[in-house]
Structure 1
């Protein structure tokens, strides 16, 4: 922005120390996979002196080094914190995964940050800001989070800074494209044989200065006179965009009257507009060449972060309540205030155990203190509600693969906390004398079921504990022990999410599992009336077993369950044994026939039977009742009932036809459509659950990641005979 000299805070390999909240900047990096977020973090670390020219901290690792899974998969799968020092400030960069399966980590980063950098590849055209990137931009806009855009991959022959800036303004600017404008224009070097000219520097539109990076160092100079007219149009548009957002209502009149506006005033108004979230500058960045000290645009980006992004005290603290839900006064980002911190990520370290990344919103967190840990609202995902006191272990800040111990973590800052054995992602830490609960952030619902079984006997003993730890780390995952199918099911956001979960089970917790076919909870009912006779007569010396009962069975409307009616006359079945017959019938209905699907929606009428004065018993009549129902089941056809879910799909208007066609191919019944904000349509349909097991994956592919859906069980209804026959054949079940 302005032309200033800057000093990195600290030498390579040394984590910056935190000062007051006003000296902190918490910035989350957002962008799809491959946009260059991690590369940008490393370039910024080099410019701030956090790493040496080889890109390494003092222990030889990269500042962005993560766990082994990320190295094997060559992509980020979890939120990571990289603290940098710049001009006396501490900048906490939160690098988030770009793949849609790990949107939970992205949401955690948004919660912990006060501003967002959207990293967009200049080589991808409109695809670079489509789908998930646009959705996250809208989420940030809804809460007023300040945003800026960084264009990467400028070295690509397909990259076009001006064209990509225009696309960002159209797609992300929405109704106000003039709020998305560049602060600098690229300066190109000598054209290569392939016709592509590399970007070697930047021209500041406000300062009118040239910043040349071709030597590997940022060199500032005056542009040549012939270059100034080339930037005049972009400069005027930027000035007009800044003035339009200015709080000084006289500024526009002065500008239109031809009065020159000094650069200092423009920079101040720009920084205020960025901090308010009403103006979104576009910048360019590229990694440093081997041996260079600075990457292109990194200093300009750090200037924006330090001068334009808000401090923690300038952002509103999320609302808190008491444990019982009573409202509390609004908190401020004050190190001396009541302690309120939130766990934004949970991970397990093989040496120190569970590590919790915490954002402190109010008060000061210190090691060896006892705090209250509270979590509510995710019991349906395997996260039990809990209110416990725990002792805080060591506080540290990650730097490469090292953890640098710190003495405290004040309001506005982030740190890792060791040995919080009960704390899970999303939990609130507060003073045990004044326990508080912070409203949780919105988490996506996992929609892809993955059924697992222990690989061997040794794994069975560790499976339950391993799954519990896995779910405690990741609130976007749900653990289900399905009582109808007996399966253990991990509900995930997608295939990559599931793959990482299973790999963590194996590598972190030593649990090997096999993925098996997920079974939908099917049921059966009778297609027509039937009768059955159950005869259980055995005599082998002493007391025998004697029970005979006759029943009639008829189908009932869906959702009725199993009714039992007694119409025995003349005491053919003694009164004391009629409940035994019912118990046997209900037990057999629950077990099902052959396929193991429970029998529902029938009326079973006991019409006759016989008993013996000595050999009849409760157990004998239970067995007879079960046998009678099994015989009746052989006398008539049975309908297989499948669960049906109501699906609500929120999709961009351009993909509505595709979604409707796909739902129809899944035997879905469209209930209706309605217009939703943001050029989107809400499609509601009823679809058999058998047809949407992989819908989370398929919908993402159909809509380029622009759609979201929810599902809710509605009822069981008869499955088409041809589908039922195919399913029975696949499972080798009797008809």
Structure 2
């Protein structure tokens, strides 16, 4: 973008122009080192003066009590810092970097999902020993889904068994990534002492006497590494030539390429999503993080480098929103948080315009206006008041009341809805009851506020038992919810045994007919509908089609009929679980000139669906998890035997050094308490991770056992 064009979109009042702003996320598998990397970034950028440690519970971005106790990230934390590169096209220019540190545990994947929706770039962190791990794949797919350009940081180069090039190969093999080193490590394990920049062909050697990693020298590449550096330098240029014609021409004609030529080509290829530059380092031992910061500035995009944000108006017509401080305000509410000091906080990404405190914004979903009383820049659990947020900024709003995750907020007169983030369905539920009558109201209030914060946490009530049910992404997710109820809302509550969130589906296509006729003197009730239901592939959702011709059902009664069908699908006929993945065609029916009503046709839709389901050979579906167990070879047989007993299907077994990685698909119902079992089978030496894979049919011999224990049966 030209200097003139850039100046025209930047307000003269902003401290950092859009081209010098970076919104990035740190994302990876649990325990790959995301939070430690973020802590080092904050230290080197001068935000903190002492490095926090996850294992000590002193990390700035792990501010919740539950995070510090468990040593894991539960909620994504937003924080800002400034960085000035020493080398490259941006050398000497101060940049603002807004960072979101995301969780790695699969139970909190929604935090990653909504963060990636509003970020311009990401740093994927990988373990130099384990390479690509299961949750790394999930995060990578989420980055692909939202078209997020990224670089990769291969962390833990100081650990025994660290293999930088094997980690890159696993990225190519398991993620399909066009990954290439842009830095090489000097040494590995305890001999890891520095990095080689393949763009400038210079070495960065860390001073062994300075444990903070602040002291290093930039100079000649050590002789032992010169041939390797030349080889990978050539490979890097050849890889970049596919994306940059100018660089390819210079290279083929034998012209000398400058470091900035190569850096510009890396940036262009990275922004196009076709290239992933890889950097080695050890966040814990304070080596390589400055190279990550340099690469964030040099290679990841700013708001101006990306295509305009796409949305729709109220008529469904496409609308584009581009960063421009002088344009009307448009932004996305991507996260809600209850703050003990200021109340409800709405995390907001400003895509266009300048938002000042006291502004009134329009919510197209509700049609209401929201007055913004305060604007905050979040620094983990700390906050800083600001007067104005500009295009490209991530801030928090105080004063917005009727806002949910995914809402677009815009200036009055604007008609635009940006695409909200999408979230997975809960897979596990449990009942929860207050310990005392006095806790009843506090429990209801606490659950409502937690459900507002977390789109993957669902609260409902069982019609038969009257119990309150909570559903989420896993045992840990619901355990954290219960803990927060006790600590934040002072609610004493008893929880039932975790229950699986089963689903039901049609086994075969079937027709259904529903009649609702009531005659009790005076005006009666009459509704009649005929439908055809067809099963769809797993994950396809629900489709409703109206094929009424000739006025068999008047137009005003078609929507109530379809509404009745959707309502009936909440409770299947096998065990009362929601019915999924089907298409309903409403093709016939009849009505009465006097007695027909919306209520009668809604009931007819309910009866027709139940009739079709009884004929459709309904089946029960259960969530199946992708499980990966990392174990020493000595315990491979015991662990595989245990997985088979849990109805697991072994997908692959990979040998790596002196341990094996067993990948399997296992029903969630069989995985309760597995962490204790796997430690017992391996004398504490094996570890595992799991994530939702799909819903699959429950074997007939297992269905009966589920029906016997289910409290949801509808027979």
Q: TM-score range by the shorter chain?
A: 0.5 to 0.7
1:161 is aligned to 2:152: no
TM-score normalized with structure 2 length: 0.68
For the residues of structure 2 that align with 1:519 and 1:53, how far apart are their CA atoms? Answer: 44
Match of 1:212 in 2: 205
Match of 1:624 in 2: none
1:320 is aligned to 2:316: no
Superposed displacement of residue 150, structure 1? 0.2
Contact 1:448 1:694 in 2 (8 A): no
Superposed displacement of residue 662, structure 1? 9.3
TM-score normalized with structure 1 length: 0.66
Match of 1:242 in 2: 240
Q: Could you say if the C-alpha distance between residues 257 and 361 of structure 1 is closer, same or farther in structure 2, counting changes exceeding 3 Å? A: closer
For the residues of structure 1 that align with 2:501 and 2:419, how far apart are their CA atoms? Answer: 34
What are the residue-to-residue correspondences of 1:158-307 with 2, within 5 Å? Answer: 158-174=161-177, 179-188=178-187, 196-214=189-207, 215=210, 216=213, 217-225=215-223, 227-248=225-246, 251-252=247-248, 254-256=250-252, 258-287=254-283, 295-307=286-298
1:102 is aligned to 2:98: no
For each residue in 1:582-634, what CA deviation from the matched residue of structure 2 results, as whole angstroms up to 9, or x when unmatched? xxxxxxxxxxxxxxx99xxxxxxxxxxxxxxxxxxxxxxxxxxxxxxxxxxxx
For the residues of structure 2 that align with 1:69 and 1:648, how far apart are their CA atoms? Answer: 27
SS at the partner of 1:303? helix
Q: Could you say if the C-alpha distance between residues 468 and 200 of structure 1 is closer, same or farther in structure 2, counting changes exceeding 3 Å? A: same
Q: Could you say if the C-alpha distance between residues 316 and 459 of structure 1 is closer, same or farther in structure 2, counting changes exceeding 3 Å? A: farther
Q: Could you say if the C-alpha distance between residues 502 and 224 of structure 1 is closer, same or farther in structure 2, counting changes exceeding 3 Å? A: closer
Contact 2:22 2:98 in 1 (8 A): yes
Q: Could you say if the C-alpha distance between residues 167 and 34 of structure 1 is closer, same or farther in structure 2, counting changes exceeding 3 Å? A: same
Of 338, 362, 376, the match for 2:328 = 338
What are the residue-to-residue correspondences of 1:114-513 with 2, within 5 Å? Answer: 114-124=120-130, 128-174=131-177, 179-188=178-187, 196-214=189-207, 215=210, 216=213, 217-225=215-223, 227-248=225-246, 251-252=247-248, 254-256=250-252, 258-287=254-283, 295-322=286-313, 324-375=314-365, 386-513=366-493
RMSD: 4.4
SS at the partner of 2:430? strand
For the residues of structure 1 that align with 2:199 and 2:142, how far apart are their CA atoms? Answer: 30
For the residues of structure 2 that align with 1:30 and 1:495, how far apart are their CA atoms? Answer: 22
SS at the partner of 2:424? coil
SS at the partner of 1:129? coil
Superposed displacement of residue 182, structure 1? 1.0
Q: Could you say if the C-alpha distance between residues 495 and 259 of structure 1 is closer, same or farther in structure 2, counting changes exceeding 3 Å? A: same
Contact 1:63 1:82 in 2 (8 A): no
Q: Which structure would you say has the larger Rg?
A: 1
Give unmatched runs, 5+ long, in structure 1: 1-15, 190-195, 290-294, 376-385, 523-556, 567-574, 580-596, 599-641, 669-682
SS at the partner of 1:330? strand
Contact 2:203 2:221 in 1 (8 A): yes
SS at the partner of 1:50? coil
Superposed displacement of residue 492, structure 1? 0.3
Q: Could you say if the C-alpha distance between residues 509 and 488 of structure 1 is closer, same or farther in structure 2, counting changes exceeding 3 Å? A: same
Q: Could you say if the C-alpha distance between residues 497 and 209 of structure 1 is closer, same or farther in structure 2, counting changes exceeding 3 Å? A: same
Task: State the number of aligned residues.
Answer: 550
Contact 1:485 1:521 in 2 (8 A): no
Superposed displacement of residue 350, structure 1? 1.2
Superposed displacement of residue 230, structure 1? 3.4
Q: Could you say if the C-alpha distance between residues 521 and 368 of structure 1 is closer, same or farther in structure 2, counting changes exceeding 3 Å? A: closer
Give unmatched runs, 5+ long, in structure 2: 1-12, 85-93, 503-509, 525-574, 577-616, 630-638, 650-664, 679-686
Superposed displacement of residue 372, structure 1? 2.1
Q: Could you say if the C-alpha distance between residues 83 and 97 of structure 1 is closer, same or farther in structure 2, counting changes exceeding 3 Å? A: same
Superposed displacement of residue 486, structure 1? 2.2
Of 23, 47, 51, the match for 1:50 = 47
1:75 is aligned to 2:72: yes
For the residues of structure 1 that align with 2:668 and 2:453, how far apart are their CA atoms? Answer: 27
Contact 2:363 2:409 in 1 (8 A): yes
